[in-house]
Amino acid sequence: MLLHLSTWPEVEVYLEKSKGIILPIGSTEQHGPTGLIGTDAICAEAIARGVGEGINAMVCPTINVGMALHHTAFPGSISLRPSTMIMVIRDYITCLAKAGFTKYFFINGHGGNIATMKAAFSETYQHLADLNIPNAEQVQCTVGNWFMCGSVWKLAKELYGDQEGSHATPSEVAVTQYVYPESIKQAPLSPDVGAGHSIYGAADFRRRYPDGRMGSNPALATPEHGKQFYDLAVKELSNNYLEFLAAE
């Protein structure tokens, strides 16, 4: 059930049976010469919709832009500052909490979002308490990083080994190929790819990772692999969501 394709009376009926909502969140950033700039948001949105459809859960519109400042030396990348992203997440949850939602399950597609999201949750809990929202003490937020699902990680290692890398990975590129087969890109990839460097500012990142990849070989990706990753992530995150709903 997609929030943006629902009416307010439909949401009101939904809240009578469930206080949970799924929020896909990603990023709009470079993913190497062959990865789509929207990869992180595309993956999070597709998997979140799959989870929602399978277990009849409400799915919020995707937060497409995340914390990706270190990618902004590459054309097309867009980022929120951590402080801005905290406010965006806080405002989303505040509005939904006023409506009656209390359980927020974020399906995340970008590792760079994690630290800011956890800070946002702490800010939000205090903000809701300061507003004296009636159900503030019941609000709980958690993150399900699809790319860190045990089943997904296992398959990525089986298919790609060390060439999975940590950014512009064949696993995430494969999911976008499954979702958007008409947008599969081809480009020459250098056998020399940066890996293992610490992340600092945008200019330093581009110097250390000149084509945007981090130890990865996205040429190994296929739409068929993407379907496998999608199915595994939907199954695992569906179970995680239901466990989160049931927990006190």
pLDDT, position 233? 98
Going by pLDDT thresholds of 50, 70 and 90, the confidence category of residue 192 is very high
pLDDT, position 115? 98
Count CB atoms within 10 A of the CB of residue 131: 12
Predicted confidence (pLDDT) at residue 248 exceeds the cutoff of 90? no
* Helix or strand (DSSP H, E) at 58: strand 58-59
Going by pLDDT thresholds of 50, 70 and 90, the confidence category of residue 134 is confident
DSSP assignment letter at 130: H
pLDDT, position 96? 98
Range of the domain at 109: 3-246
Average pLDDT along the chain:
97
Region 79-104: mean pLDDT is 98
pLDDT, position 222? 98
Helices within 38-183 (DSSP H only): 39-55, 82-99, 114-131, 150-160, 170-179
pLDDT, position 99? 97
Predicted confidence (pLDDT) at residue 145 exceeds the cutoff of 90? yes
CATH number, domain containing residue 57? 3.40.50.10310
How many whole angstroms separate alpha carbon 212 and alpha carbon 73?
10
How many domains is the chain built from? 1
172-187 pLDDT per residue, tens: 999 999 999 999 999 9
Among the residue ranges 25-29, 33-37, 50-54, 191-195, the one predicted with the least confidence is 191-195
Predicted confidence (pLDDT) at residue 166 exceeds the cutoff of 90? yes
**φ, ψ of residue 31 in degrees (nearest 5):** -135, 50
